[in-house]
């Protein structure tokens, strides 16, 4: 009887919530479907009655340090005991919430793979999964093979006698995911998002970022020295002559390329990186026909006469480097890059040397991961959707998708209300922003149509060959899309991925099954924790449609200026202040957050939390939130938010992240965001003089509802 009474009350709340959404014009799904989703959200109809009768708070009480005042350092308050008691595992560069969930997911994937019958039908996807994993786990065979799997490719590089043949060789090796000076990427045309086109981009370097070559910081100097030694060791293992001389030449070559490269901040700008060019007019490399030679060898048909150049000045200069650097140096460069790309799949000395530099020296990791973890990771990369299909069948209940759908609908309703009342957005921009919001397509859990791997040959006795064929398969998969129509229902993120994404060219938010699990999402927990966890993640991803770069794309995914100049200037005034806030954060002495590089993610963190907090209040249907574990609903939401960003990172890896990662460190994703939230200030009674206090005029709130505007709009509606 008590349970029936509670269910009746919750149903009433769901009806109230539905009417609020309906009246706000926020419905983005058919009404019947949304009623069902809201019922699942508010009542928890798909979940055990006992769990809903006595909801858990969902926050981790064992992580909270009561000795720290939340008003002084909320991240330490919410995570202090976890930080004190949790070591970084010896095989990891960092340990955070994502790591914990990925670790659990990796074990689930291992169980799936090792549970496959090795005698499954030959050529079937389960058999391919089993054979690929088995080829990696067969250490005896891998040791016996040594370098044999690379002999043909090494011979191809050694037999090169003319620089004119370099572009075609670059194309051949890029199919094997061997690093070359540039990359060819197939993606939607930013000005016509319905079609795939070719993009030419500067490629990665042997070190994580151009600054590792160009900065005289002591850490980078030490890394450069260790990198040169690593190249010597890898070339020597392979029996290459003059390894010391080659290593010096390779570092000098990559330094020359680094000087030409654009910075990561420059590469964030979709306007600057969109430069449509005729192939015939591309700057010469060695000869005038080099680009057609490269593109033809790379699979680009002769009917393609234009492509998008991301960094024109880089390609203006790379030909000069190609002509000036001796052929022998290019051969050494390609030999090293081939060895580096395949060292993890060769015999023990190569594996050890690859780990010693790539993980231990660069990132401070003490121990290599167990072989089974590396085998699962390889299988996940090369057969991601085949593995994902089995993962979803075993570990992703349909009820999780229904509840996530309901939360997305609720969060979009709040975004709609915000856009309708923002004080920095005028009527013209506001109208198109609402259109873009309505056009966002949520992708939740897993695809309906799975990728076909029938064209990929996997052999249980050929690890290096499997990796090569798998990489070619992925390359050809993308190349086959060139010139074709974009299928917006297609998934490119495997369901077991522990992450979430926004695609500007497709105007999609993607939440794979992997992230829809605790602590981000807990079906048995009270909604406050879920809104502080997955709710802020959902709000974060929606926000990318309107951040400093995503806002340059319209609802169809096209790069188009749909803002008025006045609105863009008001928006950029707020984001300049946000850049300055984050520039001041320093996780290590001498190293600061790059507020410009992290701007999009910082905007999304601040917007995501603000929207999630209001969506949680909306979900209550006007009823008070329960107090659980002595915390109010708002307090639990903010604690949950801070706890999903707890992390511990080795110093060397922290420095790398500061250079290459567009996300701020976890501490500042929590505290930096919370300080800008007036609802947080109220929930924890933060006062002037407290470290977490920012005066109202210094809080950056891009998505705060202007109550005066909202009231005027409602008055007009009457």
Name the H helices within 584-699. 599-619, 633-643, 651-660, 666-674, 678-683
Q: pTM of this prediction?
A: 0.90
What values do phi and psi take at 598, rounded to 5? -95, 5
Identify the band that residue 524 occupies on the pLDDT scale cut at 50, 70 and 90: confident
Say if residue 370 is preceded by a cis peptide, omega within 30 of 0: no
Q: Does residue 258 belong to any structural domain of this protein?
A: yes
**Same domain for 644 and 578:** yes
> Above 80 in pLDDT, residue 707?
no
The pLDDT of residue 701 is: 85
Average pLDDT of span 171-200: 98
Distance (Å, whole) CA 673 – CA 685: 17
The answer to the question of residue 31 being in a domain is yes
Looking at per-residue pLDDT, the higher value among 716 and 647 belongs to: 647
> How confident is the model over 458-471, as a mean pLDDT?
98
Longest dimension (CA), the chain: 86
Are residues 403 and 300 part of one domain?
no
Question: Is the domain of 339 the same as that of 403?
Answer: no
Whether the predicted pLDDT of 586 surpasses 90: yes
Confidence of residue 591 (pLDDT cuts 50, 70, 90): very high
Same domain, 557 and 692: yes
Residue 91 lies in a domain: no
Q: Are residues 189 and 336 in the same domain?
A: yes
CATH number at residue 697: 3.40.390.10
Give pLDDT tens digits for 331-384: 999 999 999 999 999 999 999 999 999 999 999 999 999 999 999 999 999 999
pLDDT greater than 50 at residue 32: no
pLDDT at 705: 57
pLDDT of residue 718: 52
Domain end: 326, 345, 364, which one?
Answer: 345
Task: Indicate whether 219 and 331 sit together in one domain.
Answer: yes
Number of domains forming the structure of the chain:
2
Q: Please check whether residue 392 lies inside any domain of the structure.
A: no
Tell me, yes or no, whether 558 and 410 share the same domain: yes
Is 228's pLDDT higher than 60? yes
Q: In the prediction, which pLDDT does 401 show?
A: 84
Q: What is the mean pLDDT of the chain?
A: 91
Q: How many Å apart are CA 506 and CA 474, to the nearest integer?
A: 21
**14 within some domain:** yes
- Kindly state the average pLDDT of the residues 614-635: 94
Print the domain residue range for 259: 167-345
Domain identity same for 708 and 566: yes
pLDDT in tens, 441-453: 999 999 999 999 9
Q: How confident is the model at residue 28 (pLDDT cuts 50, 70, 90)?
A: very low
Give yes or no: residues 329 and 188 share one domain: yes
Q: Are residues 210 and 321 in the same domain?
A: yes
Residue 281, domain member (yes or no): yes
Residue 322 forms part of a structural domain: yes
Task: Give yes or no: residues 538 and 685 share one domain.
Answer: yes
| In the predicted structure, residue 46 carries a pLDDT above the cut 80 | no
Q: Which of 302, 330, 345 is the last residue before a domain boundary?
A: 345
Residue 587 located in a structural domain:
yes
Same domain, 572 and 702: yes
Neighbours of 704 (CB within 10 A): 19
| 671, 76 Cβ separation under 8 angstroms | no
**Residue 328 banded pLDDT, cuts 50, 70, 90:** very high
Angle at which helices 290-297 and 166-174 pack, to 10 degrees? 30
Among residues 345, 366, 383, the one where a domain terminates is 345
Confidence band (pLDDT; 50, 70, 90) for 635?
very high
pLDDT digits (tens, 9 = 90+) for 197-227: 999 999 999 999 999 999 999 999 999 999 9
CATH number at residue 338: 1.10.1380.10
Question: Rounded to an integer, what distance in angstroms lies between the CA atom of residue 243 and that of residue 249?
Answer: 10
């Amino acid at each position: 009887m008590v349970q029936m009474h509670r269910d009746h009350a919750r149903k009433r709340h769901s009806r109230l919530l539905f009417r609020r959404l309906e009246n706000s014009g926020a419905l983005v799904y058919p009404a019947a479907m949304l009623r069902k989703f809201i019922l699942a959200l508010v009542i928890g109809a798909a979940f055990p009655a006992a769990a809903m009768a006595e909801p858990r708070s969902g926050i981790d009480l064992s992580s909270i340090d009561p000795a720290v005042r939340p008003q002084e350092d909320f991240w330490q308050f919410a995570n202090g005991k976890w930080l004190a008691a949790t070591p970084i595992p010896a095989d990891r560069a960092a340990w955070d919430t994502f790591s914990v969930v990925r670790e659990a997911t990796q074990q689930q994937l291992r169980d799936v793979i090792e549970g496959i019958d090795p005698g499954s039908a030959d050529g079937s996807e389960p058999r391919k999964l089993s054979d690929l994993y088995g080829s990696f786990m067969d250490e005896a065979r891998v040791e016996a093979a040594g370098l044999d799997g690379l002999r043909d490719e090494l011979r191809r590089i050694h037999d090169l006698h003319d620089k004119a043949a370099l572009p075609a060789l670059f194309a051949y090796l890029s199919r094997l995911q061997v690093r070359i000076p540039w990359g060819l990427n197939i993606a939607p045309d930013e000005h016509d998002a319905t079609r795939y086109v070719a993009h030419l981009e500067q490629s990665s370097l042997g070190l994580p970022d151009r600054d590792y070559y160009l900065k005289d910081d002591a850490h980078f100097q030490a890394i450069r020295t260790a990198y040169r030694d690593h190249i010597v060791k890898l070339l020597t293992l392979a029996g290459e002559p003059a390894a010391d001389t080659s290593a010096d030449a390779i570092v000098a070559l990559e330094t020359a390329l680094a000087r030409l490269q654009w910075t990561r901040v420059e590469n964030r700008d979709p306007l600057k990186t969109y430069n449509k060019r005729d192939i015939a007019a591309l700057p010469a490399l060695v000869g005038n026909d080099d680009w057609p030679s490269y593109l033809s060898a790379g699979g680009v048909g002769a009917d393609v006469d234009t492509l998008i150049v991301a960094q024109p000045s880089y390609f203006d200069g790379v030909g000069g480097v190609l002509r000036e650097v001796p052929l022998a140096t290019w051969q050494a460069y390609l030999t090293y890059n081939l060895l580096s790309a395949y060292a993890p799949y060769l015999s023990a000395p190569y594996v050890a040397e690859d780990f010693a530099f790539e993980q231990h020296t660069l990132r401070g990791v003490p121990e290599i991961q167990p072989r089974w973890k590396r085998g699962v990771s390889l299988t996940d990369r090369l057969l991601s959707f085949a593995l994902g299909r089995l993962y979803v069948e075993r570990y992703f209940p349909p009820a999780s998708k229904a509840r996530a759908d309901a939360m997305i609908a609720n969060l979009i309703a709040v975004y709609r209300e915000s856009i309708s009342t923002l004080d920095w957005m005028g009527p013209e921009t506001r109208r198109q922003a609402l259109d873009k919001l309505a056009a966002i397509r949520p992708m939740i859990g897993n695809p309906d149509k799975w990728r076909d791997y029938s064209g990929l040959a996997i052999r249980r006795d050929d690890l290096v060959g499997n990796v090569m064929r798998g990489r070619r398969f992925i390359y050809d998969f993308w190349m086959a899309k060139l010139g074709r129509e974009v299928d917006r229902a297609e998934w490119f993120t495997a369901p077991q991925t522990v992450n979430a994404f926004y695609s500007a060219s497709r105007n999609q938010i993607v939440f794979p099954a992997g992230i829809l699990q605790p602590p981000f999402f807990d079906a048995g927990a009270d909604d406050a924790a879920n809104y502080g966890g997955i709710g802020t993640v959902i709000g974060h991803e929606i926000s990318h449609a309107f951040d400093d770069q995503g806002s340059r794309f319209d609802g169809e995914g096209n790069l188009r200026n749909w803002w008025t100049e006045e609105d863009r200037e008001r928006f950029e005034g707020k984001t300049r202040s946000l850049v300055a806030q984050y520039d001041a954060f320093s996780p290590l002495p001498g190293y600061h957050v790059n507020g410009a590089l992290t701007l999009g993610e910082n905007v999304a963190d601040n917007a995501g939390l603000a929207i999630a907090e209001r969506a949680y209040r909306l979900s209550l249907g006007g009823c008070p939130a329960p107090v659980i574990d002595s915390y109010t609903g708002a307090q639990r939401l903010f604690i949950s938010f801070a706890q999903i960003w707890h992390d511990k990172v080795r110093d060397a890896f922290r420095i790398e992240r500061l250079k290459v990662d567009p996300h701020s460190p976890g501490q500042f994703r929590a505290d930096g965001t919370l300080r800008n939230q007036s609802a947080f200030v109220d929930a924890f009674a933060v006062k002037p003089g407290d470290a977490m206090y920012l005066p109202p005029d210094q809080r950056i709130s891009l998505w705060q509802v202007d109550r005066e505007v909202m009231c005027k709009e409602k008055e007009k509606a009457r």
